[in-house]
Amino acid sequence: MNNSMKDTKQVIFINEDKCRNTYSCVRVCPVNAIEVKPERKHPVVIADKCVGCGLCYLACTPRAVEFRNATSEVKTILSSGRKVVALIAPSIASEFDDITDYRKFVGMVRKLGFDYVHEVSFGVDLVGHAYKRLFDEARGKYYITSMCPTIVEMIEKYQPDLVPNLAPIVSPMIATAMVTHDLYGEDVLNVYIGPCIDNKEEALSGRGPELIAAVLTFIELRELFEEYDVHEKAVKMSDFDPPFGHWGSLYPMPAGMLRAAGIKRDLVTSNVITASGKDEIKEAIIDFNNHIDRIRHHFNLFFCEGCLLGPGMERHSERFRRRSLVRQYAEKRVNALDKEQWEHDMERWSKLDLTRSFRNNDQRIPEPSEEAINEVLKIIGKDQRIDELDCNACGYSSCRIFASTVAKGLAIPEMCHTYNLRNKQEYIETLRQTNKKLSETKKALKESEEQAQREKDAAQNASETMNSMLDKLPNGVVIVDNDLKILHSNESFLSIIGEDARNIAEIIPGLRGADLKTLLPFNVYNIFSFVLKENESVISRDVQLEDRMFNISIFPIRQNRIAGAVIRDLFSPEVQREEVINRVTEVIDKNLDMVQKIGFLLGEGASETEQMLNSIVESFRQKREPHKNKTENQ
């Protein structure tokens, strides 16, 4: 898989081997975290910008969008020898309606090797009561709930000004993990199992790493059931390990936390607004940011339609039937609950520190200039306001927003339906004009083809004549390309390199395409390499092949591309006679040249000796004359 090189911590990514460029993932992404570039073959999820909502995973029909699978990680944890706890989200009533009794489901989880199985509903109760205290003591400050990890990431990355308004309370997953650590010791390993993909990211941030060893979606849990052949009929009933939850079992519904917290929900006295789903969430965050001083309500936000149909679940339909299943399950659990024990458990673990902090992780891209947006609008044919159709076919709410996204480098014009349609019409017109020109030139092309055929026939005849002439030459001839692959060789060349070459030539005429390096020794084919590289001829070089001597001349035919060689067998009578004459002549010429040089040198030496002797005589004569004059005077 092409994405095997992805960062192992990246939660959602695109498998390029499966991607068919439908761009459905780009269209549904609420934060433009999927980038489309002309130089890339497929869209890419930008990990830093992704909020893990999973909409792209649900929208991709080729299933090219994938999330990090933790089944192998969990199998390693289960075989580690340490105690392992399964933390189960209350959404099991919505997902596992194919299992007749939740106690059978618990038995199946234990069968996988988990030592303890806890329902997160008790953690919901703890967190719900913490919210109630927070809201009661807010004193005019309004909060956004932080139980949904996607909501937390959206605000940290795209509304960082609202980070102080995120409720500083851990999620039910973290709260339940804190309870199990208190129960069994910090050496225990917690594995959270639920409907949300982004819990995988939550487990890597904040207090997650110290409390959560791994996160499985319900999809991955089903994979483990299948791999280990765990079925309802083969296990005994088993209940969750205490402490048990109360109305926390309603957590899968958007307002379930409020019921668990005992917060009023009526339209007059309630001070909490609940919103869920992509469209409601985006509008709610904008309204909270712009008008909270007039709205004066806390916001309880869930990105999905609650946790009834999370992206980590196998099915994503029948929302209202699933609401009913969750309600029935919660009523059954509450009716069987020991209220006195629950109150005792709440008193004990309400003392846990459930606070958390958040960070400003601004991932917003500055808005492009108006000029840049208008340039994109012009490219897609929407440069006039009347042309802006806002048809939403591209996945964006308006042409201008789409143009802004293109200008940011996150989308391409081809995602616009009308742009593609216009290009198609222009392409059709171009084809029509092309066909007309083709029709007008058909006759000329036919004549050109006939002329080309005649020239081809002539070239073929010339080639055959040349090959026939080369085959009749007594010397070996071979022509090679720059890879030392044979383009042509004659019969004499085949005779020179041996019987094996003749056998090959019966299958491949002229050894065309054969590698010269497999036919000749290194010291010979290396000369060919030199000629091709340096574009210089090597003339009359003697080489030995086995027990025979050959004289070879290699010369470039096309610079650095083709070289030819003529090889003469020095043992053949014709070549021997010619070589003897040539080489005797060469020796005589060299000897004559040497005699001439010796004579010249001797002549030069005699001249210099004569000059030296004359100089000595003259000097001696000059010394004697003064002495003679002196004697005569006396």
For residue 456, what are its two tokens? Answer: 């081809």
How much is the pLDDT for 517? Answer: 84
How much is the pLDDT for 578? Answer: 59
| 87 closest CA partner among 53, 121, 37 | 121
Q: Higher pLDDT residue, 598 or 393?
A: 393
How much is the pLDDT for 462? Answer: 64
How much is the pLDDT for 4? Answer: 37
In whole angstroms, what is the distance from residue 151 CA to residue 84 CA?
A: 29
**Rg value, the chain, Cα:** 46
Q: Higher pLDDT residue, 126 or 411?
A: 126
Chain mean position to CA 112: 35
Greatest mean pLDDT among 169-178, 455-464, 490-499: 169-178
The residue length of the chain stands at 634
Asked if the model's pLDDT at residue 592 lies above 60, the reply is no
Range with lowest mean pLDDT among 275-289, 454-468, 615-629: 615-629
Burial tier of 16 (Cβ tally within 10 Å: 0-12, 13-18, 19+): middle
Asked if the model's pLDDT at residue 290 lies above 50, the reply is yes
Q: Higher pLDDT residue, 546 or 50?
A: 50
Asked if the model's pLDDT at residue 412 lies above 60, the reply is yes
Cis check for the bond before 243: say yes or no (omega within 30 of 0). yes
In whole angstroms, what is the distance from residue 393 CA to residue 411 CA?
A: 14
Does residue 247 contact residue 224 with C-beta atoms inside 8 Å? Answer: no
What's the mean pLDDT in 162-178? 97
For residue 109, what are its two tokens? Answer: 């989880």
What's the mean pLDDT in 162-179? 97
What's the mean pLDDT in 153-175? 96
The helix/strand count (H/E) of the chain reads as 23, 15
How much is the pLDDT for 5? Answer: 37
* pLDDT tens digits for range 306-334: 888 899 998 888 889 999 999 999 999 99
What's the mean pLDDT in 610-626? 57
How much is the pLDDT for 620? Answer: 52
Beta bridge partners of 538: 554
pTM: 0.65
> Residues with Cβ < 8 Å from 144, sequence gap 6 or more?
151, 155, 162, 165, 166, 167, 285, 288, 298, 299, 301
In whole angstroms, what is the distance from residue 260 CA to residue 250 CA?
A: 7
In whole angstroms, what is the distance from residue 93 CA to residue 88 CA?
A: 11
* pLDDT tens digits for range 28-63: 899 989 988 877 889 999 999 999 999 999 999 999
In whole angstroms, what is the distance from residue 258 CA to residue 248 CA?
A: 9
What's the mean pLDDT in 481-501? 83
DSSP code of residue 369: P
Percent of the chain whose predicted confidence (pLDDT) is above 90: 48
Q: How many angstroms separate the Cα of 122 from the Cα of each of 216, 261, 292, 324, 551?
A: 19, 11, 31, 21, 96
Range with lowest mean pLDDT among 65-74, 119-128, 315-324: 315-324
Range with lowest mean pLDDT among 167-176, 338-347, 556-565, 577-586: 577-586
DSSP code of residue 166: B
In whole angstroms, what is the distance from residue 503 CA to residue 430 CA?
A: 56
Asked if the model's pLDDT at residue 129 lies above 80, the reply is yes
End-to-end CA distance of the chain: 126
In whole angstroms, what is the distance from residue 448 CA to residue 18 CA?
A: 46
The long-range contacts involving 505-512, CB below 8 angstroms and separated by at least 24 positions, are 510/467, 510/486, 511/486, 512/486, 512/487, 512/488
Range with lowest mean pLDDT among 58-67, 134-143, 161-170, 386-395: 386-395
For residue 232, what are its two tokens? Answer: 């309802």
SS3 for 226? helix
How much is the pLDDT for 349? Answer: 96
Confidence of residue 176 (pLDDT cuts 50, 70, 90): very high
Q: How many angstroms separate the Cα of 500 from the Cα of each of 496, 511, 543?
A: 11, 11, 20
How much is the pLDDT for 311? Answer: 94
Residue 297, number of CB atoms within 10 A of its CB? 16
DSSP code of residue 138: -
How much is the pLDDT for 226? Answer: 96
| 489 closest CA partner among 462, 457, 513 | 513
Q: Which helix (H) or strand (E) holds 185?
A: none
- What are the backbone angles phi and psi of residue 111, rounded to the nearest 5°? -60, -30
SS3 for 362? coil
Q: Higher pLDDT residue, 60 or 518?
A: 60
- Backbone dihedral region for residue 262 (phi beyond 0: left; psi -120 to 50: alpha; all else: beta): left
In whole angstroms, what is the distance from residue 194 CA to residue 543 CA?
A: 80
How much is the pLDDT for 319? Answer: 87
The long-range contacts involving 513-517, CB below 8 angstroms and separated by at least 24 positions, are 513/485, 513/486, 514/485, 514/486, 515/484, 515/485, 515/486, 516/478, 516/480, 516/484, 516/485, 516/486, 517/484
Asked if the model's pLDDT at residue 424 lies above 60, the reply is yes
Percent of the chain whose predicted confidence (pLDDT) is above 70: 84
* pLDDT tens digits for range 202-230: 999 888 999 999 999 999 999 999 999 99
Domains of the chain: 1-68 (3.30.70.20), 70-139+168-253+313-349 (3.40.50.1780), 473-571 (3.30.450.20)
What's the mean pLDDT in 462-470? 68
How much is the pLDDT for 79? Answer: 96
Beta bridge partners of 93: none
Q: Higher pLDDT residue, 6 or 503?
A: 503
Confidence of residue 7 (pLDDT cuts 50, 70, 90): very low
SS3 for 216? strand
What's the mean pLDDT in 561-590? 68
Asked if the model's pLDDT at residue 77 lies above 80, the reply is yes
* pLDDT tens digits for range 79-113: 999 999 999 999 999 999 888 899 999 999 999 99
Q: Higher pLDDT residue, 575 or 279?
A: 279
Q: How many angstroms separate the Cα of 351 from the Cα of each of 171, 182, 258, 348, 518?
A: 16, 11, 20, 6, 83
How much is the pLDDT for 401? Answer: 80
